[in-house]
Structure formats: structure tokens, C-alpha cells
């Protein structure tokens, strides 16, 4: 059975709770940092999508990791990659680019816009792709070797930690 937590933030356990969590990712450096306010809580070595050297994610199947401002939109404790923190890709900016490029229609744009407005998981059944997140490696290649289809991978032990301290709604900034 797979449990997906959606909607309102799911609180982290008492003593691990972060007051102002923020995740910042630098794709070029293959580095992720967890902050609580301005304080660095932990640093992570990461793996990215196989196509990430080609820039930001643009469409389904390009194997690129997106760039921009997102939030943790859902949590899946039963992912095939151990644990999964879903990100709000595509966001409104991604939808704008997709609409301008005729990759999505006005209804798909509106669905993405409304989901982001409500801080819910956006639809991933468009030409933009989706179900991008931060997850463990679940027996895949070692961290530091790019292998995902656009996600950010950390070790299984690190995703366990993140899963406990990160709430739905946590901001995530992904930079080149």
C-alpha cells in the first residue's frame, strides 16, 4: 500500500522540527543545503537527471532537473526510491513557458496555476512532465553519478532524515 500525504503541511516530529526550513540546490555543484532560517542545518551531495547538463527541465522525457522556486507538495514513504518528497514542478513560470511554446493548452495552464495557488501537487499529466522530487537512491548508482529522470537523489539515509524534518510546503530553490 502506498500512502501519499497531500494538502496541509504534515508536522515533523517535535524535537526535529525546523522553524524556517528552506532547501537550496545548486545543480552545477551537485550540492544541496538544508537551512533553518539563515542557519545551515546540513549539506548533501546529490545526483540529478541524466539530461541536466543541457539546462532546466522543459518537457516530459528530457531527463533534466528543473530550475526555479518550488515547494514540497507531497510526501511518499513507499516510493521505489525509498522515500519521495514531491516538488511543485511544473510551477507557474514553467506553465507560462509551456503555454508560450504550445506545449500545454489553457486548461492545463489553469490547472497548474490553481494547484500552485493552493499549494497542492500540480498535474504531471501534461507535455511538461512532472512527479519531480527529492528521493533516495533505492539501490541505484552511487550519489554523485547522474541517473535520475529529472529528480534530485540523495542517499537512503539522508532521505530518511529529510522525510522526518521537512514539512509539506517547505520552499525549494533549484539553481543552475
DSSP string covering 62-114, please?
S-PPP-EEEEEEEEETT-TTS-EEEE--S-HHHHHHHHHTTSS-HHHHHHHHH
**73 inside domain:** yes
What is the DSSP-derived secondary structure letter of residue 123?
Answer: P
Q: Buried b vs exposed e over 82-95: b needs ≥16 C-beta within 10 Å? A: bbbbbbbbbbbebb
Nearest to 79, CA basis, from 30, 157, 13, 137: 137
Count the domains in the chain.
1
Half-sphere exposure of 130 (CA within 13 A, CB side): 21
**102 inside domain:** yes
pLDDT at 11: 43
- Spatial distance between the Cα atoms of 8 and 53, rounded to a whole number of angstroms: 34
> For the chain, how far is it from start to end, CA to CA, in angstroms?
36
**37 inside domain:** no
- Spatial distance between the Cα atoms of 64 and 55, rounded to a whole number of angstroms: 7
pLDDT at 141: 65
**17 inside domain:** no
Evaluate whether 97 touches 29 at the Cβ level (below 8 Å): no
**23 inside domain:** no
**57 inside domain:** yes
Domain that holds residue 157: 47-168
pLDDT at 15: 53
**26 inside domain:** no
**93 inside domain:** yes
Per-residue tens of pLDDT for the chain, all 176 residues: 334 444 434 444 445 679 999 999 999 999 999 999 999 999 999 999 988 888 899 999 999 999 999 999 999 999 889 999 999 999 999 999 999 999 999 999 999 999 999 999 999 889 999 999 999 988 776 777 899 999 999 999 999 999 999 999 999 999 99
Amino acid at each position: 500500500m502506498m500512502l501519499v500525504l497531500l494538502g496541509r503541511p504534515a508536522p515533523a516530529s517535535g524535537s526535529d522540527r525546523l522553524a524556517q526550513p528552506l532547501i537550496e540546490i545548486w545543480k552545477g555543484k551537485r550540492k544541496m543545503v538544508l537551512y533553518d532560517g539563515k542557519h545551515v542545518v546540513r549539506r548533501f551531495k546529490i545526483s540529478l537527471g541524466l539530461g541536466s547538463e543541457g539546462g532546466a527541465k522543459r518537457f516530459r522525457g528530457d531527463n533534466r532537473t528543473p530550475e526555479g522556486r518550488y515547494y514540497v507538495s507531497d510526501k511518499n514513504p513507499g516510493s521505489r526510491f525509498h522515500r519521495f518528497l514531491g516538488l511543485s514542478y511544473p510551477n507557474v513560470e514553467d506553465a507560462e513557458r509551456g503555454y508560450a511554446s504550445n506545449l500545454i493548452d489553457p486548461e492545463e495552464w489553469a490547472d497548474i496555476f490553481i494547484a500552485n495557488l493552493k499549494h497542492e501537487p500540480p498535474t504531471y499529466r501534461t507535455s511538461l512532465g512532472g512527479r519531480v522530487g527529492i528521493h533516495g537512491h533505492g539501490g541505484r548508482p552511487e550519489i554523485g553519478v547522474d541517473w535520475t529522470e529529472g529528480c534530485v537523489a540523495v542517499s537512503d539515509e539522508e532521505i530518511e532524515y529529510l522525510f522526518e524534518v521537512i514539512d509539506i510546503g517547505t520552499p525549494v530553490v533549484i539553481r543552475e
